[in-house]
């Protein structure tokens, strides 16, 4: 019942985040407010709302929403909506992707099983072997670029002593 009084009259959802209100105290979620066409009017009483940059926040409404009970989608732990995101981020039951996801591994599982999977995952094994080679290749690329710049400077006659000799020999 309490959640019904907290739902937005536009989208009919109890939205997390900022809540806006008109001067009469009618509350609606900020995402619905940002989608109202000009001229912006309260969805309940049709009072003019003015520019979105001057929207009136309903912090008490926001606090009531964050205090609503919620359950973790991964482990079912009871918490509040305000604490749910932090818990779900650290939840031991949250599925984790293999470290070789970008290399093509589609495995997803529990954190407790991740190390065992990655020790036998062909994508992760190859990625582990390739990492030092890629670092070495990047270092060699930087060295090649430095040498190219040096050669270009020498050819342009800006190479200090060597460049100067070449210029003197031509004269």
Residue 3 has a pLDDT of: 60
Break the chain into its structural domains and give their ranges.
2-68, 122-170
User: What distance in Å separates the CA atoms of residue 92 and residue 75, rounded to the nearest whole number?
Assistant: 8
Residues 6+ apart with CB under 8 A from 2: 64, 68
Confidence band for 36, pLDDT divided at 50, 70 and 90? confident
Q: Is the pLDDT of residue 71 over 80?
A: yes
User: What distance in Å separates the CA atoms of residue 169 and residue 164, rounded to the nearest whole number?
Assistant: 9
- Torsion of the alpha carbons at 43, 46, 49 and 50, rounded to the nearest 10: 130
**In whole angstroms, what separates CA 87 from the centre of its chain?**
17
2-68 topology per CATH: Herpes Virus-1 (3.30.40)
pLDDT digits (tens, 9 = 90+) for 102-117: 889 999 999 889 999 9
Q: Is the pLDDT of residue 63 over 50?
A: yes
Render the burial of 110-124: b for 16+ CB within 10 Å, e for the rest. eeeebeebbeebebb
């Amino acid at each position: 019942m309490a959640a019904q009084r907290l739902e937005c009259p536009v989208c009919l959802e109890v939205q997390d985040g900022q809540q806006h209100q008109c001067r009469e105290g009618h509350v609606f979620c900020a995402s619905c407010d940002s989608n109202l066409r000009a001229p912006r009017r309260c969805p309940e009483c049709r009072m003019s709302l003015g520019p979105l940059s001057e929207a009136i926040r309903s912090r008490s409404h926001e606090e009531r929403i964050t205090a609503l009970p919620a359950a973790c989608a991964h482990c079912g732990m009871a918490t509040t909506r305000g604490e749910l995101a932090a818990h779900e981020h650290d939840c031991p039951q949250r599925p984790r992707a293999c470290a070789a996801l970008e290399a093509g591994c589609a495995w997803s599982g529990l954190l407790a099983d991740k190390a065992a999977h990655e020790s036998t995952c062909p994508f992760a094994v190859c990625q582990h072997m390739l990492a030092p080679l890629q670092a070495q290749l990047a270092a060699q690329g930087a060295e090649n670029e430095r040498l190219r710049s040096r050669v270009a400077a020498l050819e342009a006659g800006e190479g200090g002593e060597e460049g100067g000799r070449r210029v003197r020999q031509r004269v």
